[in-house]
């Protein structure tokens, strides 16, 4: 079968089966206008799909400008670290909830959607898990307990989860992790199943990187997501991390988003940032690189606008302002707000992408 025909059929099938999973979200953003004019858009919160940021509880508590930027501009938040297993799990059935609770309560108060990042990841396995000893069934049980305790606690409050994060190698094989070693490849479908049982309304994602630069990674990710969906595993979306930089062609970003939508799954650009100083030569951001960065923000915003509306989970930036980026010690000036929380050209790039202009 020709590739385009296969994609079209896959798209149709997935749209039909997964469309039934969409639900009314309990967050507040204005999606009433299908075509935007520049004047319509005063903040990112008015974007035609959710725009979010990864946040940390400590900075939300200590920095009023950071907090105000989140509540004014964002429709959605992800915990940058607070919802990872090493942050929550202190032992079997022993949890540290303070930071995750803080984020969820903050989001409820401010009508923000919460995206849970991440349930299962090969990195930062808590030491009690690494040293756990048991049968395959015992390993399934501890994974189920963890996933269901976390997802169950935030049922109805966390709209979506990265169920599995970074699960493939560059050659497309499954990445080694303790869950693969102890349970086998079915740990992936089980993780989705356990999360779905705990909150049947939550939108469940497979999140990974490299969609915009590696055909092998992209192809494997689609294939994996597609085979999970075909086997009735409750997967609803593909997360494209998209930590990128100004050397990337806009077409690569556009293609990654457009091609992900062909699966019929929801698409979340889940960790977006555009570094301008990848070779570490700059000591300050300048207009040339700021405009190159703006263009990639515009392309991503427009590409998300161009996929079917029911598949647009949105764009989440990996931080709020340049100093809160995980890249900041370098520095890379990768986000749309500068150190003084002023809007950079990248911010205008997003707005332009929303209203389809240039
Ligand atoms: O909070 C502790 C602090 O108490 C301690 O003194 C210090 C000593 O190293 O570490 C601090 O924790 C660090 C944490 O960030 C908070 O700053 C961890 O060491 C550090 O490993 C952690 O890095 C995070 C990284 O994931 C690993 O979890 C980054 O902030 C976070 O931006 C990054 O995010 C990942 C996504 O989850 C997955 N995709 C890639 C992305 C970027 O790497």
Q: 241 with 209: CB under 8 angstroms?
A: yes
Residues in the chain: 358
Give the mean pLDDT of 116-129: 97
Q: Return the ∠ at Cα 164 (arms to 159 and 169), rounded to 5°.
A: 145
Element (DSSP H or E) covering residue 206? strand 203-208
Side-chain-side CA neighbours of 185 within 13 Å: the count stands at: 7
pLDDT tens for each residue of 236-286: 999 999 999 999 999 999 999 999 999 999 999 999 999 999 888 999 999
The atom of ligand 1 lying closest to the CA of 326 is 32
Q: Give the closest residue to 162 by CA, choosing from 266, 7, 16, 306.
A: 266
Q: Is 122 a pocket residue for ligand 1 (Cβ < 6 Å)?
A: no
- The predicted-structure confidence for 199-233, as pLDDT tens digits, reads as follows 999 999 999 999 999 999 999 999 999 999 999 99
Between 36 and 286, the higher pLDDT residue: 286
Separation between Cα atoms, residue 347 and residue 106, nearest integer Å:
24
Q: Is 166 a catalytic residue?
A: yes
CB under 8 A, 24+ apart: contacts of 92-95: 92/128, 92/132, 92/142, 92/145, 93/145, 93/149, 95/149, 95/150
Q: Which ligand 1 atom sits nearest the alpha carbon of residue 165?
A: 38
pLDDT of residue 37: 64
* pTM for the predicted model, two decimal places: 0.91
Q: Is residue 342 annotated as part of the catalytic site, yes or no?
A: no
What is the distance in A from the centroid of ligand 1 to the CA of 97?
Answer: 18
Q: By percentage, how much of the chain surpasses pLDDT 70?
A: 88
Smallest CA separation from ligand 1 atom 18, residue? 81
* Mean pLDDT of all residues belonging to the chain: 90
**pLDDT, position 41:** 83
The pLDDT, as a whole number, for residue 279 is 87
- Active-site hit among 166, 197, 309, 342: 166
Closest Cα to atom 16 of ligand 1: 81
Is the C-alpha dihedral spanning 41, 43, 46, 49 positive or negative? positive
Distance CA 240, CA 261 (A): 11
Q: Whose CA is nearest to atom 14 of ligand 1?
A: 81
């Amino acid at each position: 079968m020709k590739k385009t025909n296969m994609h079209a059929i896959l798209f149709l099938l997935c749209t039909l089966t997964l469309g039934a999973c969409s639900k009314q979200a309990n967050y507040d953003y204005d999606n009433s206008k299908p075509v935007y004019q520049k004047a319509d858009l005063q903040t990112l919160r008015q974007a035609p799909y959710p725009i979010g940021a990864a946040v940390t509880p400590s900075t939300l508590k200590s920095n009023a400008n950071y907090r105000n930027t989140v509540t004014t501009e964002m429709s959605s938040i992800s915990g940058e670290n607070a919802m990872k297993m090493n942050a929550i799990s202190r032992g079997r059935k022993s949890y540290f909830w303070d930071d995750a609770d803080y984020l969820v309560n903050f989001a409820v108060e401010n009508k923000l959607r919460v995206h849970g990042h991440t349930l299962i990841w090969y990195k930062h396995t808590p030491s009690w898990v690494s040293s756990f000893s048991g049968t395959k069934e015992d390993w399934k049980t501890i994974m189920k307990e963890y996933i269901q305790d976390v997802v169950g606690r935030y049922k109805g409050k966390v709209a979506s989860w990265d169920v599995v994060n970074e699960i493939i190698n560059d050659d497309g094989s499954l990445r080694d992790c303790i869950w693969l070693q102890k349970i086998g490849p079915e740990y992936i479908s089980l993780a989705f199943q356990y999360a779905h049982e705990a909150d049947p309304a939550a939108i469940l994602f497979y999140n990974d990187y490299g969609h915009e630069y590696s055909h092998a990674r992209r192809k494997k990710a689609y294939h994996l997501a597609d085979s999970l969906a075909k086997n009735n595993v409750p997967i609803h979306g593909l997360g494209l991390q998209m930590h990128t930089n100004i050397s990337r062609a806009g077409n690569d970003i556009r293609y990654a988003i457009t091609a992900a939508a062909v699966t019929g799954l929801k698409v979340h650009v889940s960790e977006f940032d555009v570094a301008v100083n990848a070779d570490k030569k700059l000591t300050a951001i300048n207009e040339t690189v700021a405009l190159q960065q703006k263009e990639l923000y515009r392309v991503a915003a427009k590409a998300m606008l161009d996929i079917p509306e029911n598949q647009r989970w949105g764009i989440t930036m990996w931080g709020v302002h340049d100093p809160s980026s995980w890249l900041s010690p370098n520095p890379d000036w990768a986000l749309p707000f500068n150190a003084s929380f002023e809007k950079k050209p990248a911010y205008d790039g997003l707005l332009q992408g929303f209203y389809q202009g240039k």
